[in-house]
Every structure is written in C-alpha cells, then in structure tokens.
Amino acid sequence: MKKLEDVILNELSEERAFKHMEFLVNEVGERLAGTEKIKKAANYIKNEMETYGLDVRIDNFYIYHSYPKNAELRVTYPETKVITTKPTCHIASTLPEGIEGELIYAGVGGYEDYKGKNVEGKIVLTGMTWAPPRPEKARIAYEKGAKALIIMNWGPTNNPVIQMGGTKSQWGNPTPETFRDIPQIPVIAITRAAGEYLKELCIKEKVKVWLRAEATREWVKANQPIGILRGKKKPEEFILVGGHLEAWGKTAICNSSGNAVTLELARAFAKHKDKLERSIVFAFWDGHEVAEAAGSTWFVDTNWDNLTKHCIAYVNIDNPGIIGTSIPGVRGVTELKDFLKNVIKEEWKKEAKWSNAYKGGDASFFGVGVPYISFATGYTPEKLKELNYASLSPWLHSEADTIDKIDKDLHAKHLRFDGLLVSKLCNMLVIPYNCSLVADELEGDLKQLENIEGTKLTSRLGSLLNEVAEFKELTKKLENYKEQIERLSTQIDDSKKKKGVEEIANLLNQTLLKISRNISPIMRSEAGRYGHDPYGYSLVGKPIPILYTPLTKLAKLKEGSEEFILWETKFTRERNRVFDVISNSIDHILLASTLIDERLKKYYV
C-alpha cells in the first residue's frame, strides 16, 4: 500500500486551489465579520467541503467587532497640509471637532522607541511593522499617555496603499477584566509617503497636527466553517488545519491564498480518507482581522477538553505564495523544530529560516499547549530592506491585494508542503515532539534570567536549573524510546506484537502530549494556561515571561521598599509555579518510563 503522503502529493491540484482563490478574491472580496460577504464565503466553503464528504458545520457566536467610518488629518504647524487617511478599527472615536496636538515620531512604536520621549498628551507617529504589530503599537502608545496614534504604511515610498486593520490589543473576546484594558485611543493610518513627510518635519522642528477619526464598536455574529474528516485507526486524535477567513481588501494574499490551500487539502485527504490514521479538522476562522483572533480563541475555549486530550498540532495556513518571496520560513514551537526543518528540507531542498511562534496570527493555542506551526516563504533580506520591511507585502489589507500578487507556481509548492506536513502528522506512529529541545530552551532561558543585573534574587533560580538538569536527562530516555519503537515497528511482522508496539507508542505519545501541555504556558505566555496575552505582546518571546517581568522590575527597585517587597512576592510565587511545572514533567516521564520499560521487556527482550 502506498504511503499516505505519496497519494496525497499525487492528488493535490493547484488548478483546483486557484479556482477557489479566484472565487474568493473576485466574487467575494473584502469579508469582515458580521457582513453578507463573509456569509457568502462561509457558505461557499461549507458547500465545497460537503461535496468532499466531510462532516461540516458553520459555528455562529458573538464577537466584539468594529467597522471603520471616517477620518481626517491635516498639519497645522509649521505649515498647513491636508493628508489622506483612514481610521483603524476598535479605536476611541474623537468628538466631531477632532483633536489637535504636537506630533512626536516614535520609530516603529516599540518600548525602546519611547526612550527619552515624553508623549503624554501628544500625538504619536510610528511606522508599520509586525515587530511590534499594530495592536501592540496602540497598547504601548496608550500606556505612554499619547492622545492619538498615526501609523504610516510599510513598503516603498511610492506605495499608494493605506493599510487597514484593528488595534484592539486584547486577544479574542474580552472578559470583564480585560474589557477595561482595551486601548482608548484614536488611531489612523496613512501612506508611506505621507508618513515620511511627517517624519522629516518632526526631525526638523516642532510639528502640530489635527485629526478626527470614527469607528464603531459592536457585537456581531461570526460565521466560522468547520469540516471534520475522521481517521480510521485513531479517530479521537486529530490535526487541526486552519487559517483566517475574515479578510481586508481584495484578499488574495491575506488570506484567500490560504483558504484555497486548506480547501484543496480537504478534498485530497477526503478522497483518500481510508488511509488516514488520525482525524483532521479543517477550520476557517472568522473574527481574525478586527476582533483579534476571536474565532480561533472561541474554538479553543469551547473545544478545550478535546484539544487538551487529543490535538497533535495546529497547522496555520496564511499568506502562501506571495510574489517575489523565496526564503522558506516557519514559525513554530521548540518541540517541533527538528521535525519541521526536516520536512521543509525534504520538500524545498534547502534549509528553513526558523522563528519561534509569537502571539500573532491565530496563535490562540499557547495556553492549551497545542503546538503551533505556520509556514510561508519570505523575502530576501535585500528585498525586505527595499520594501521598508513590508514582510507580508506592500499590498496587505488593501484593494491592491489582487490575485496577480500570488505566484501560482510558488503557491503550488506551498500546497505540496502543507500536504506533506499534514500527511506525516496524521500517520506517524510516534508524534514528533522532541522534549530534549524544550529542556535545552528552558535551561538557556533560566541562564539568561540569571544574568539580569541589579537584583540578588536571581540566585533563587539555581534550584530551578537543578530541576531542569534532571528533566533534560530524562528527556533523552524519551528520544531513546522513540528510536526503539520505530525500529521495532519495522522489524516485527507478528500482528499481536505489532499491536504491542502500537500500545507502547500510544503511551509515549500521551506522555509527550502531557509534557507539551504542561510546559507551553510558562514558556510562551505571561497570561498563563487559561488567559491570553495581548496581540503581539512584547513580553512573549522574553525568557520565561512570568519570571522576566518581576526580575527586571526588581533590578530597578530599592531593596526593602514597598514596591520591591510586592514584586519579590510576585517573583517568589511565579518561581514556585515554574518549579511545579518542571517537577510535574519529571513525574510524567518517570511514570511513563516504568510502564514502557516493563512492556518493552515483556514483549521484546
């Protein structure tokens, strides 16, 4: 019997995928949550998946949304000039008379760009980047006391596009606590040329601008198609494959290209479902662009039990095939790093650019601990510089995002890669988590934290490093078990003994799942297992965020002061949390090792 990956790669059709893209771009176009356009797209996807034989539904639920209305901008000093602008979404609308203030240029809008600048009561100008992304720019500007924020687009100076987007930094639907934290600041968008003009003015002298902006804030019903394809051998386990359906502008790059890949994957896998061992869930997220991943967050919240116990990985498909890109790049979690780089090398015949997953896109799975994967080609460093670091193209979120911005051959390669990746995840005997890499990262993070100067409390990290050393040694056993199981599975013909190998593999898989679920929240989040950090949150990516924050605060405080004592208490409790996570992971491995060793000895020694 042919391997699943062989039949899937032979089955996939770029022509079919491209037809889906043409429909979504040319017949639907912009599709914001709560509109008839997104209903049209959702129904099209539902009908297509039903013809493939999947179990299909459209989930409807409330999300906190926003629609842009109007905006105006003009320079009032040292000269008078009207500048074309658009409002972003989820902003605090100005009064009809607008607001006026001094304009301060703050780089790309990260914390380091505010050093030495007092922006309280002033209007801030920043450049568009994904580091930090738009919502994090707004959150930081609001925290710094700015009265408004202006974001110039990326891309070359002659790029006429004004990029649309949202600025609600709260991830997904807010809770009573986070609802109060939504930035209450007007935010508008302008072209690159307009932004550079204002930047040059700010460098030369004091600048004043007047602006007015309006956008709604309201609750709307989402339309989120879900298709399920049941595996034959382990139907309870599943791979989640998805990408956002809600989209700005003409939507080709972001994300009709991804929706087309996902639909064609659904068709190909459905045609060969008899070869599937695990199930696949195909998701098309609503509430992505404005409510900030509200659709995928709702899915996590309402499918928590099943995700916790049975989801092997989430494969995010977004922006595949951008014309002019060539560097294969993947964002993912550490335990999948070796596996993903090997799959990319197999299909692309070159090394991949690796990046740790960050709180962006639809990375709603850090808390629940489901490993995140997102692959797409990127620009060369030279091209990125030329485009003023427009990493997702100069045409993103605009009417310029037309189908000619997709390289059809490159899109086909993305389709093949995703087909290969999902095939492997579906039918691997042992899931490809490498916990030794996680142990290495934990050790490295703790050593970075030890080097924070200005506080003696870093000495309390020593016992954590000892615990990590034990964890690190035990993870080698897990890798050894993988090798033994995979070797035995190819050497044994006896059906009863093969079943015994599969039982051992299942035990190992459950152990790997538990460790990933256990460790993910402390390594990739400050909000923890049940909360969500803000979109693009600056602290996600710092070494063990729940320890990094108190230690960097303590380094600046006088020992014995009230604030010092408060942060010392916070640090101590978070340090205890990290200890428990590592200790529990050790216990999982010790218990599993006892059981696996017994079974290996019973059946095969």
For position 493, what pLDDT does the model report?
77
Give the model's confidence band at 192: pLDDT under 50 very low, under 70 low, under 90 confident, else very high.
Answer: very high
Contacts of 597 (CB under 8 A, 6+ apart): none
Averaged pLDDT for residues 390-405 = 95
- Position 226: which residue type? I
- 98 Rama sector, left if φ>0, alpha if ψ -120 to 50, beta otherwise: left
Number of H helices, E strands in the chain: 17, 18
Distance from the first to the final alpha carbon of the chain: 30
**What are the tens digits of pLDDT across the range 95-125?**
999 999 999 999 999 999 999 999 999 999 9
Distances (CA, A) of 182 to 119, 140, 154, 179: 19, 11, 25, 6
**CB neighbourhood size of 57 (10 A):** 13
Relative to beta strand 187-190, strand 86-87 is antiparallel
For position 5, what pLDDT does the model report?
93
For the chain, give percent helix, strand, coil, nearest 5. Answer: 50, 20, 35
CA distance 16 to 589: 46
For position 1, what pLDDT does the model report?
41
**What are the tens digits of pLDDT across the range 232-289?**
999 999 999 999 999 999 999 999 999 999 999 999 999 999 999 999 999 999 999 9
- Tell me if the bond preceding 432 is cis, omega within 30° of 0: no
For position 244, what pLDDT does the model report?
97
**CB neighbourhood size of 441 (10 A):** 20
For position 541, what pLDDT does the model report?
83
Name the E strands within 420-531: none
The answer on pLDDT for 148 being more than 50 is: yes
For position 2, what pLDDT does the model report?
63
For residue 144, the surrounding DSSP H or E stretch is none
How large a percentage of the chain has pLDDT more than 90? 90
CA distance 284 to 240: 11
CA distance 546 to 548: 6
| Predicted TM-score of the model (pTM) | 0.95
Tokens 């999947």 map to which residue? 54
Give the number of residues written for the chain.
605
Q: For 27-41, 491-505, 547-561, which range has the lowest pLDDT when averaged over its residues?
A: 491-505
Closest C-alpha among 303, 324, 415 to residue 370: 303
Give the model's confidence band at 603: pLDDT under 50 very low, under 70 low, under 90 confident, else very high.
Answer: low
68-215 has which fold? Glucose Oxidase; domain 1 (3.50.30)
* Best CATH choice for the domain 22-64+221-317+328-427 from the list 2.40.40.20, 3.40.630.10, 3.40.1280.10, 3.40.50.720: 3.40.630.10
For position 499, what pLDDT does the model report?
87
Q: For 100-104, 374-378, 385-389, 399-403, which range has the lowest pLDDT when averaged over its residues?
A: 385-389
Averaged pLDDT for residues 152-180 = 94
For position 498, what pLDDT does the model report?
82
Question: Has domain 435-604 been given CATH number 1.20.930?
Answer: yes
Relative to beta strand 86-87, strand 81-83 is unpaired
CA distance 109 to 195: 14
- Give domain limits for the chain: 22-64+221-317+328-427, 68-215, 435-604
Residue 352 and residue 345 in contact, taking contact as beta carbons nearer than 8 Å: yes
CA distance 427 to 231: 9
CA distance 70 to 47: 36
Tokens 């380091």 map to which residue? 112
Contacts of 323 (CB under 8 A, 6+ apart): 393, 404, 405, 406, 407, 410
Q: Which two tokens stand for residue 563?
A: 């604030």
**What are the tens digits of pLDDT across the range 399-441?**
999 999 999 999 999 999 999 999 999 999 999 999 999 999 9
Distances (CA, A) of 410 to 14, 320, 414, 593: 10, 8, 6, 45
**What are the tens digits of pLDDT across the range 427-478?**
999 999 999 999 999 999 999 999 998 888 888 898 999 999 999 999 999 9
Q: Which two tokens stand for residue 363?
A: 């990375």
Q: For 90-94, 532-536, 580-584, which range has the lowest pLDDT when averaged over its residues?
A: 532-536
Name 75's bridge partners: 81, 209
The DSSP result for 22-39, as a single string, is: HIIIIII--B-TTSHHHH
For position 387, what pLDDT does the model report?
93
Tokens 């087309």 map to which residue? 260
Mean pLDDT of the chain: 95
**What are the tens digits of pLDDT across the range 502-552?**
999 999 999 999 999 999 999 989 999 999 999 988 888 899 999 999 999
For position 555, what pLDDT does the model report?
92
- 454 Rama sector, left if φ>0, alpha if ψ -120 to 50, beta otherwise: left
Chain centre to alpha carbon of residue 52:
29
Give the model's confidence band at 494: pLDDT under 50 very low, under 70 low, under 90 confident, else very high.
Answer: confident
For position 12, what pLDDT does the model report?
98
CA distance 68 to 89: 5
**CB neighbourhood size of 203 (10 A):** 9
68-215 matches 435-604 in fold: no
**What are the tens digits of pLDDT across the range 320-353?**
999 999 999 999 999 999 999 999 999 999 999 9
Closest C-alpha among 402, 171, 398 to residue 288: 171
Determine phi and psi for 343, rounding to 5 degrees.
-65, -40
Name the E strands within 351-426: 353-356, 372-378
